Each structure stands twice: as C-alpha cells, then as structure tokens.
Homo-oligomer: A and B are copies of this chain.
Amino acid sequence: MSDTRKILEDIASGKLSVDDALVSLKTEPFDDIGYAKVDLHRKIRQGSSEVIYGEGKSPEQISGIIRSMKEHGQDRILITRLSKEKADAVSAEHDIRYSEISRIGIAGENAPADGVGRIVIVTGGTSDIPVAEEAALTAEFLGNEVMRLYDVGVAGIHRLLAHKEMIFGASVIIAVAGMEGALASVVGGMADCPVIAVPTSVGYGAALGGISALLSMLNSCASGVSVVNIDNGFGAGYMASMINHVGC
C-alpha cells in the first residue's frame, strides 16, 4: 500500500486529522543539518546505499553528514573525491576504509555482490587508473563483482584482443580513456553488452582537459555505448551497478 493511500485512509477512518495529514504529506524525507539536507529516504527511493560527494566539503561537514546518516540507520556510506588529508580527519570520528589512488572512503561493508553478472573495467593507459578505481570501488560498494583490465589502449590493439574472453563475459563494461578515447569504440564494437564510456582528463594540448575524449565517445560509431562526465568514475560505477541489477 502506497504511503499516500495510507495517509488518506487514515483520514477517512479518523485516525489522522486533516492538519496532521497535511504535515505528513509534507514531512521532509531528509534531515536538515543546516549546511545540507541529508537525504534519508533515498535508500528506499533509489534502491541504493548512500553517497557523499567529498569535494568542497570540510572534514567537519563530512563527519556531520555521516553521523546524521548513521543515526538514521544508514550503515553503508561511500565518500568520493576525498583527499588524503580529509580522510585522515574524518577517520578521527568514523571508521572508514580509504583508497588513496581513487580518493574513495567507505564506512561500513560493501553490499553483497548480487548483480546479474560481472562488471569489467578497461583503461587505455596507466594514467587512467585513478578514475577506473573510483568506478571499481563504487561498483563493488554497491554490490557487484568487478574485473579490471588496465593499459589496453588501442595503439596496441593486440593487448585488448588477448583478453577477448573477458570482454565477451561481461554483463556491463566500463571503458576509461583519455587522449583520443578510441577505446570505447573498439570495446563497444567487440562487446555484446552495454558499455559505459568515461573520458578522462589525461592528455595535453588538443586533449582540452578531456573534451577530446568526451567528444570521441559521444560520436562512437559502435552501438551500445553511452557516456558520463569527464573523470566521473563514480558515475560510471553507479550506472554500471544499476544496469547490473536491472530486474533484480
């Protein structure tokens, strides 16, 4: 029974006054802690654990948001774009696992891996690994088995072809590449599963901070490729997890 129907039936049955009903219908499904409106129903609404975007928040703010979440029963929390310094500061109050290369902190356990299949993450070069790891840890946090296949850029296509089986065995692939971003197209052409392309800001000059790779991926001649923002490993991991749980 939906919440709205429940409230209306309670009015009809006299259990709830009109004024209380008005309040209930408006009750904020978030905790207002001043500098942020912590979204507590999101777990239910979006079916996922909670995430804090660490960039531009002070360690104190991050700690406060974690505290608020925990008080409301949220025990699996992912913090992205968390610098080493902030991670250390947050650790004073909260128990978190921290990965420096991906700048990810995790409070609580990963969700059990219960997706449809396996997420494979490929990168063009070694410089793309931080973004790839952000995607990998996000996907693992959200309950997915992840395989990594790094440094298989198209300039040495044999390195990718040597791992065809891994590509064929994936239920979702995340292709992470900077410079010309051609990896997404090649992988997209080989795979028969959805490919999430993540352009990275790796490169210089006409790479334009990732714009070149981004355009490349948007124009992929392969079907079944969609794109997230530059360096957005988290977004790719989140999207891949959603796909890997379709119908679950």
B154 and A221 contact, CB distance less than 8 A: yes
B204 and A215 contact, CB distance less than 8 A: no
Given A180-B217, A220-B179, A239-B194, is A26 in contact with B156 using a C-beta cutoff of 8 Å? no
Bound CA–CA A185/B178 (angstroms): 13
Chain multiplicity (copies): 8
Bound CA–CA A234/B181 (angstroms): 20
> Least Cβ distance of A7 to chain B in Å?
9
Bound CA–CA A51/B54 (angstroms): 35
B182 and A204 contact, CB distance less than 8 A: no
Interface size on A, residues (CB 8 A): 111
A221 and B185 contact, CB distance less than 8 A: no
A180 and B185 contact, CB distance less than 8 A: yes
- Residue A109, interface by CB 8 Å: no
Contact segment of A32-40, A66-74, A84-92: A32-40
Residues of B within 8 A of A29 (CB): 158
B185 and A205 contact, CB distance less than 8 A: no
Bound CA–CA A106/B36 (angstroms): 27
> Least Cβ distance of A237 to chain B in Å?
10
A117 and B212 contact, CB distance less than 8 A: no
Binding site for B on A (CB under 8 A): 4-5, 8-9, 11-12, 14, 17-18, 21-22, 25-30, 35-37, 39, 41-42, 45-48, 51, 55-57, 61, 116-117, 124-127, 129, 150-159, 161-162, 171-172, 179-182, 184-186, 188-194, 196, 199, 201-232, 234-236, 238-239, 242-244, 246-247
List 12 A-B pairs, Cβ < 8 Å: A36-B126, A46-B223, A48-B223, A155-B186, A157-B161, A180-B216, A182-B182, A204-B230, A205-B231, A213-B219, A243-B246, A247-B247
